[in-house]
Amino acid sequence: MKSEREELDELEKKWMSRMTSFTTPVPTPEDTLDLIARVKEQAQKPEKQAEVAPSDHQTGGWMDLIISQWSFYGMRSWLMSAGWMICFSLMIGAQSITIVPKDEAGVFWIQAVTLTIVLSIAYTFRPQNEGMAMLERLSVYSLAAQTFVRLCMVMGFQWILAIPFSFVIPGLDNGWLFLWQWTIPLFFFAVITFVMAERWGMGASLSVSLMIWGGQWFARKVLPEVSLMVQTEELSFRPVQLVSLVVAFLLLGAWYISQRRREI
């Protein structure tokens, strides 16, 4: 009986006789330098493409980002948002013109349009499922750019819808002045709702925004100097309007800086 060691030795001899051996050539110094140059060339190509891609993408302008947001959320979602704002705007506009007393029509419109933008932001920025959130993170656009453009789309659409009512609401002597009087509160409440939703979620944001809106509505009778929901014939900004603009821009700036740091 052959031992296991002897059987392994015989198998090794058989396989060694069937295998051919060869010697690899030793690379010359020129070959080594040529290989290093090729590796460097291949490593630099992705970097150049990465440097070129953002600039090419930026030249496409904001319109590409707007189209991407429209496509991302689908026409049905945006049309539902638009339909809600159109119906509500027409309803409060009709009430301002026909039902509300002339001396209160402008104030009612400011109250209604600010409430509309709060609810519109809440609907547009409602929590998405995990799949949608993942697609947003994988987009070629930054999250800050995507959400900011979405905010501008909602505010812009609401502003365009509301412009005609600035010139048909009764009891107004200066439609352009009234346009500014409700545009500033609209911008303020939109930013407040948006920034808080990005920071603490839509539930907390909607609650706080409605509390601020209710406080402003209450202040118009008790302390009109600090209320944005007041119609005035003065041809200059009121202090509360300037303060609200500063607060809104500071909140937007703080949100943008925090988003950029998070993405970096």
Q: What is the pLDDT of residue 215?
A: 92
Per-residue model confidence as pLDDT tens digits over 138-147: 667 777 788 8
Q: What is the pLDDT of residue 53?
A: 44
Q: What is the pLDDT of residue 157?
A: 83
Gyration radius of the chain's alpha carbons:
32
Question: What would the two tokens of residue 54 be?
Answer: 């953002």
Between the CA of residue 188 and those of 25, 29, 244, what are the distances in Å?
75, 69, 6
Q: What is the pLDDT of residue 251?
A: 93
Distance, CA of 241 to chain centre: 25
Burial class (CB in 10 A: 0-12, 13-18, 19+), 188: buried
Per-residue model confidence as pLDDT tens digits over 60-89: 567 777 777 777 666 666 677 677 667 776
Q: What is the pLDDT of residue 49?
A: 45
Q: What is the pLDDT of residue 150?
A: 85
Rounded CA-CA distance 72/70 in Å is: 6
This model's pTM is above 0.85: no
Extract the residue ranges of the chain whose pLDDT is less than 50.
47-59
Rounded CA-CA distance 244/186 in Å is: 11
Per-residue model confidence as pLDDT tens digits over 99-122: 777 777 778 888 888 988 898 888
Q: What is the pLDDT of residue 189?
A: 94
